[in-house]
């Protein structure tokens, strides 16, 4: 610290950034769409330090009236358990935007979510091929986009296919609500910790018949039926996820006017894991 600072050379070479800028442009041109977006965001942080890369708070979704309830729901269905509804851009990426937002990445990172989901499928190709019954190319193709603009319907987030992959990739519980379907997705592999305190539960809703939105649910909300593919293709150790949430899964059944398969009283205790395989 006591040394005298060296002066810039007379020819100004220490301040010349031509080499670095050329290398940066070369690197930028070699990247795919997702890589270019990430690199651009980093350059913006350096070029515009007064701005922030953090996305603004999500806006509440503008829907007409109340959120549509699942088919067969009573008037006192899951609406009371919704704390808030947020919106994301409606460009065919909305489902992936909603997931990115709920994971804390910001909705602009939807392309990164697509890429990560595809990596998950490729890394575990055999179990996913069984799960998707030979449709694995179709599922992977739905994740591939050529640009960041509006996406066609075959690139939208599809449920239940993507539900299994999302829950497993990020080790979360994904809950989807829709007019004709509502499902709970647990990770397909790996055991539950035994405590629900630190579990991450991400909820999305399908509104206006064409748009996914992030939902913030009240603590302890009832959870819809488990997605059928999970019951059939999960690993044995993954069964512990469903056991940990049996009470909330059974509560959903009571909201639909169904009796619990295990008891005639409101469910509070886990059921035998074998019953999870029932249709």
Lowest-pLDDT range of 15-19, 141-145, 224-228: 15-19
Q: How many domains does the chain have?
A: 1
Domain that holds residue 140: 66-256
The predicted model gives 90-98 an average pLDDT of 95
Q: What's the gap between Cα 122 and its chain centre?
A: 18
Report yes or no on 148 lying in a domain: yes
Report yes or no on 160 lying in a domain: yes
CATH of the domain at 72: 3.90.70.80
The predicted model gives 194-223 an average pLDDT of 94
Ranked by mean pLDDT, the top range of 46-55, 120-129, 254-263 is 120-129
Report yes or no on 13 lying in a domain: no
Report yes or no on 34 lying in a domain: no
* pLDDT single digits (tens) 237-258: 999 999 999 999 999 988 887 5
Report yes or no on 6 lying in a domain: no
Report yes or no on 55 lying in a domain: no
Report yes or no on 114 lying in a domain: yes
Is the pTM higher than 0.75?
no
* pLDDT single digits (tens) 25-58: 888 887 755 566 666 766 766 776 544 333 344 4
Lowest-pLDDT range of 48-52, 84-88, 142-146: 48-52
Report yes or no on 209 lying in a domain: yes
The predicted model gives 59-88 an average pLDDT of 57
């Amino acid at each position: 610290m006591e040394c005298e600072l060296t002066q810039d050379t007379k020819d100004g070479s220490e301040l010349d950034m031509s080499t670095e800028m050329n290398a940066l442009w070369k690197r930028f041109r070699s990247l795919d769409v997702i890589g270019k977006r990430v690199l651009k965001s980093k350059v913006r942080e350096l070029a515009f330090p007064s701005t922030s890369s953090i996305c603004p708070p999500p806006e509440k979704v503008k829907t007409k009236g109340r959120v549509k309830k699942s088919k067969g729901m009573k008037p006192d269905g899951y609406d009371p358990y919704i704390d808030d509804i947020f919106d994301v851009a409606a460009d065919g990426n909305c489902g992936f935007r909603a997931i990115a937002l709920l994971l804390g990445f910001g909705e602009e990172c939807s392309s990164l979510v697509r890429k990560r989901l595809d990596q998950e499928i490729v890394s575990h190709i055999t179990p996913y091929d069984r799960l998707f019954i030979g449709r694995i190319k179709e599922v992977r193709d739905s994740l591939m986009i050529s640009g960041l603009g509006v996406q066609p319907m075959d690139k939208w987030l599809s449920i239940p296919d993507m539900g299994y992959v999302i829950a497993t990739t990020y080790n979360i519980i994904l809950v989807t609500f829709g007019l004709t379907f509502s499902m709970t997705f647990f990770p397909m592999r790996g055991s539950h910790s035994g405590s629900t305190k630190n579990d991450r539960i991400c909820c999305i809703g399908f509104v206006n018949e064409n748009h996914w939105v992030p939902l913030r649910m009240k603590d302890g909300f009832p959870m819809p039926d488990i997605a059928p593919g999970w019951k059939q293709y999960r690993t044995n150790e993954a069964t512990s996820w469903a056991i940990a949430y049996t009470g909330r899964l059974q509560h959903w059944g009571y909201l639909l006017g169904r009796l619990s398969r295990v008891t005639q009283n409101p469910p509070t205790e886990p059921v035998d894991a074998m019953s999870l395989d029932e249709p």
